[in-house]
Amino acid sequence: MAAQFKILYLGPISGTCLDRAHAVRRLGHEVEHIDLRLMLPNTAWVDRVIWRLGGNLLAPLLMRRLRNALKGKKYDLCWVDGGELVTPRLISLLRQNAQKIISYSIDDPLGPRDGLRFRAFRQSLPFYNLNVVVRDENVDEAFMLGACNVLRVYRSADEISHAPRSLTECDHKEWDSEVLFLGTWFPERGQFLLDLILRGVPLTIRGSGWHKAPEWPQLKKYWKGGSISGDDYAKAIQCAKVNLGLLSKENRDLHTTRSLEIPALGGFICAERTSEHTSMYAEGQEAMFWSGVEECAAMCDLALSDEVRRQAMAKAGQQRLMRNGHFNEITVGKIIETAGVL
CA dist., res. 82 & res. 36, Å (int): 10
> In this predicted model, what pLDDT tens digit does every residue of 234-270 receive, in sequence order?
999 999 999 999 998 888 999 999 999 999 999 999 9
**Residues of the chain below pLDDT 50:** 1
- Report pLDDT for 1: 45
Domain with CATH 3.40.50.2000 in the chain: 6-156+327-340, 169-324
Number of C-beta neighbours around residue 30 at 10 A:
13
**Maximum Cα–Cα distance across the chain:** 63
Calculate the average pLDDT of the chain: 95
Q: Please check whether residue 253 is in contact with residue 188, taking contact to mean a CB–CB distance below 8 angstroms.
A: no
CA dist., res. 288 & res. 299, Å (int): 7
Helix (H, G, I), strand (E, B) or coil at 304: helix
Q: Give domain 169-324's CATH superfamily.
A: Glycogen Phosphorylase B; (3.40.50.2000)
∠ CA 333-329-163, nearest 5°, is 175
**What are the distances in angstroms from CA 154 to CA 217, 238, 255, 334?**
37, 23, 8, 11
∠ CA 207-209-213, nearest 5°, is 115
> In this predicted model, what pLDDT tens digit does every residue of 154-201 receive, in sequence order?
999 999 999 999 999 999 999 999 999 999 999 999 999 999 999 999
- Report pLDDT for 115: 80
- Report pLDDT for 241: 98
CA nearest to 134, candidates 106, 97, 165, 95: 106
The whole model's pTM is what?
Answer: 0.94
6-156+327-340 fold: Rossmann fold (3.40.50)
